[in-house]
Amino acid sequence: MKKLIFTLLIASTTALNAQIMVVNEIETESPENFSSLVTHWMTAIKTALEIEDTKTYTFSEPGTKKMQFLQFHETLTDMVAYRKKQDENQEKIWNTLQSMDPLPEGTIDTFNDVTSFRESSVWEFMPELSTTPETWSILSRAEKDEHLYRRIQYVTLKMNQDNAYEDWNKKMNALDKKLGISYHYAIFKSVFGAKDADYMVMCIDKSQFDYFRNWEKRTEIREQSDEYKALVEELSISQWSVISEFTWNRILELTF
């Protein structure tokens, strides 16, 4: 069990100010069991290592059995140091876990039977391509906690198109600002893993309903702009494309 949990949650080596995002994709037949055991385990880590905020967030994918377990670090060096600290304190964490109120009988066995780790990916936040350094940082923790929805796009590029793709996003963000459009938009670049994608685009809103309502308003404003139409034309002949798109809903009580 001890080895399984470490493999599940630390297999790879909200706070969008951090530069490195680790995404662990987990599949479970029982979200309730997953929630119970992960809460128990993360509480033990925070207690044993005396960490107040592990910058860890859990998202579910509606209509699937998938959970996305995210952790943020300031740098890749910090990410490695965090992993090393846990490795060096496994016994202390385990002893802390043993001293806590026990989980209901059968919880661990059920977890082993119905939950499995799928894959990990590591991403670097690209603030120069994103709006979130400006739009997200000004929000209070309570306001951030109201934004539970994430629209995720994975983007793949043909060879040597990184600069073109990044320049296009900068132009788009500059135009939105000129048009008075403001929303939470973050881009991450692949470091490791990443579903064959080069970039992850994350749009943040309070709910799926709010996302599409606000997207419609943005589109109405943009389509009145000749500059926007030119950028769309530039995109249509570009060397990159969205290869997949997902909905992530943050589970507020699984924030550690």
Give the tokens for residue 190: 């692949």
How much is the pLDDT for 18?
Answer: 65
Q: Decide: helix, strand or coil at residue 125.
A: strand
How much is the pLDDT for 88?
Answer: 94
Alpha carbons 184 and 186: distance in angstroms, whole number: 7
Q: How many domains does the chain have?
A: 2
Provide the domain limits for residue 194: 127-250
How much is the pLDDT for 193?
Answer: 83
Please indicate, yes or no, whether residues 118 and 42 belong to a single structural domain of this protein.
yes
Regions of the chain with pLDDT less than 50: 1-15
Please indicate, yes or no, whether residues 156 and 67 belong to a single structural domain of this protein.
no
Alpha carbons 157 and 160: distance in angstroms, whole number: 8
Residue 256 lies in a domain: no
How much is the pLDDT for 186?
Answer: 97
Please indicate, yes or no, whether residues 203 and 243 belong to a single structural domain of this protein.
yes
Contact in structure between 204 and 149 (CB atoms under 8 Å):
yes
Looking at 122, 155, 187, the residue that finishes a domain is 122
Give the tokens for residue 244: 């997949």
Please indicate, yes or no, whether residues 91 and 205 belong to a single structural domain of this protein.
no
- Which CATH number characterizes residue 23's domain? 3.30.70
Please indicate, yes or no, whether residues 111 and 140 belong to a single structural domain of this protein.
no
pLDDT tens-digit profile of 183-242? 999 999 999 887 789 999 999 999 999 999 999 999 999 999 999 999 988 887 778 899
Please indicate, yes or no, whether residues 57 and 152 belong to a single structural domain of this protein.
no
How much is the pLDDT for 189?
Answer: 96
Looking at 76, 103, 122, the residue that finishes a domain is 122
